[in-house]
């Protein structure tokens, strides 16, 4: 079967044309930033549990020059994504560039296991031990350690936080479990906030959650592994099949829509091959399982290992809920009516439980979907301008 799939994939590449260096979209976030004319720095952070993470930084905008100390904006991507998503749409459209042009020192994090964070002090990626994490560990280790590094490097005392999808989940985990980090946040802007997931409409998650979202004794027996890794072959195949002139372009678009909701008006066909050059960026199977558990349980709670391990981990038969009452820094919610991952009713349940909820912003575009927050052609008009306006209130 694998041989048949490989042969078919090669045939599709040949049918679509060969990948040439001159036409190939830039797959590396840092190279893309430099190609767009912005300064770029790479920084590495080692977490308390040994994962080595890479961050990308845009210290200043070429439109302003290096004009001294700037307030910090920290951006955190969603599941299967990376820092690339914050720059993919290019200058004047992508959030990282918009914030840089507005005077922010922009830092983009990368969670353990994605394209830019596949190193550990001791464990190689071919060991299952490397992949034994969920977004819980990203929230209690990765994000806090990256924020600490950014504050030490810049001399600032607080950051403006912007997260999308899982980037919002890990923020809430961090605040629940390490509430001292409230003091390091000026404001938190959560785009497509993913906490309560019980009413999500994504057909992929709804199909697999009844199986994958069960208390996971399988993980106990077999360990976790990498989920949807990226490699050169997959990138080449995706780039060739998903060019705007390709006969497969509608299939490529539908793959994106099936995840977050249909919105043809906000997806530029010219962008899809660039998306394929950077996504999926890889994750752990446990991250996906944890979201499936959220759908099944209709709660925002820790990973359910099954009654075998839960008492050892938590002291209870069932995993405890996250303590949303600990998220005391200002939180601003941005969500869409057509978001298949984060349903309006789920977001509003989250809203009602946050102790310092400062903005309830339903995007004024009826078809606004989950991935429009990072790839929508009018994201600046409907979301980013609002984010920038609100951020300025906390400076």
The DSSP bridge partners found for residue 189 are: 162, 332
165 annotated active-site = yes
Number of C-alpha atoms within 13 angstroms, CB side, residue 390?
A: 23
The three-state DSSP-derived secondary structure of 161-187 is EEEECHHHHHHHHHHHHCHHHHHHEEE
Q: Could you tell me whether strands 226-227 and 119-120 are parallel, antiparallel, or unpaired per DSSP bridges?
A: unpaired
Query: Whose CA is closest to 363, among 375, 349, 346, 380?
Result: 380
370 annotated active-site = yes
Q: Which residues contact 22 (CB under 8 A, 6 or more apart)?
A: none
Selecting among 136, 164, 274, 370, the annotated active-site residue is 370
Q: List, as own/partner pairs, every contact residues 98-101 make where C-beta atoms lie below 8 angstroms and the sequence separation is at least 24, other chains included.
A: 98/380, 98/384, 98/388, 99/73, 99/75, 99/388, 99/391, 100/38, 100/58, 100/60, 100/61, 101/61, 101/63, 101/64
Selecting among 100, 165, 246, 279, the annotated active-site residue is 165
Catalytic residue numbers, as ranges:
165, 370
């Amino acid at each position: 079967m694998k041989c048949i799939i490989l042969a078919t994939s090669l045939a599709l590449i040949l049918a679509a044309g060969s990948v040439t260096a001159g036409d190939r979209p830039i797959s590396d976030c840092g190279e893309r930033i430099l190609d767009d004319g912005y300064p770029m720095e790479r920084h590495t952070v080692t977490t308390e549990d040994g994962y080595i993470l890479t961050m990308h930084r845009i210290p200043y905008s070429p439109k302003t020059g290096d004009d001294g100390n700037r307030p910090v904006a920290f951006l955190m991507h969603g599941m299967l994504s990376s820092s690339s998503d914050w720059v993919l749409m290019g200058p004047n459209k992508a959030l990282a560039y918009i914030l840089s042009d507005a005077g922010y020192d922009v830092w983009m994090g990368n969670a353990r296991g994605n394209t830019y964070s596949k190193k550990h002090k001791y464990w190689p990626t071919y060991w299952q031990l490397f992949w034994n994490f969920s977004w819980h560990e990203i929230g209690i280790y990765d994000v806090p350690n990256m924020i600490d590094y950014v504050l030490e490097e810049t001399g600032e005392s607080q950051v403006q936080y912007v997260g999308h999808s899982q980037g919002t989940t890990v923020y809430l985990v961090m605040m629940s479990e390490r509430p001292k980090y409230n003091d390091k946040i000026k404001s938190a802007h959560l785009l497509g906030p993913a906490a309560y997931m019980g009413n999500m409409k994504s057909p992929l998650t709804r199909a697999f959650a009844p199986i994958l979202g069960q208390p996971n004794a399988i993980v106990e027996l077999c360990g976790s592994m990498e989920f949807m890794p990226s490699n050169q072959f997959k990138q080449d195949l995706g780039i060739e099949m998903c060019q705007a002139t390709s006969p497969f372009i509608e299939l490529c678009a539908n793959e994106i829509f099936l995840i977050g909701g249909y919105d043809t008006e906000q997806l530029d066909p010219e962008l899809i091959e660039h998306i394929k050059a950077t996504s999926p960026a890889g994750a752990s199977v446990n991250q996906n399982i944890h979201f499936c558990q959220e759908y099944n349980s209709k709660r925002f709670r820790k990973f359910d290992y099954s009654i075998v391990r839960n008492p050892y981990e938590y002291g209870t038969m069932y995993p405890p809920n996250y303590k949303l009452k600990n998220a005391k820094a200002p939180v601003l919610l941005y969500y869409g009516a057509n978001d298949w991952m984060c349903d309006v009713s789920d977001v509003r349940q989250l809203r009602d439980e946050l102790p310092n909820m400062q903005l309830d912003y339903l995007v004024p575009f009826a078809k606004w979907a989950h991935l429009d927050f990072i790839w929508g052609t009018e994201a600046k008009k409907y979301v980013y301008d609002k984010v920038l306006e609100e951020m300025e209130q906390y400076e």
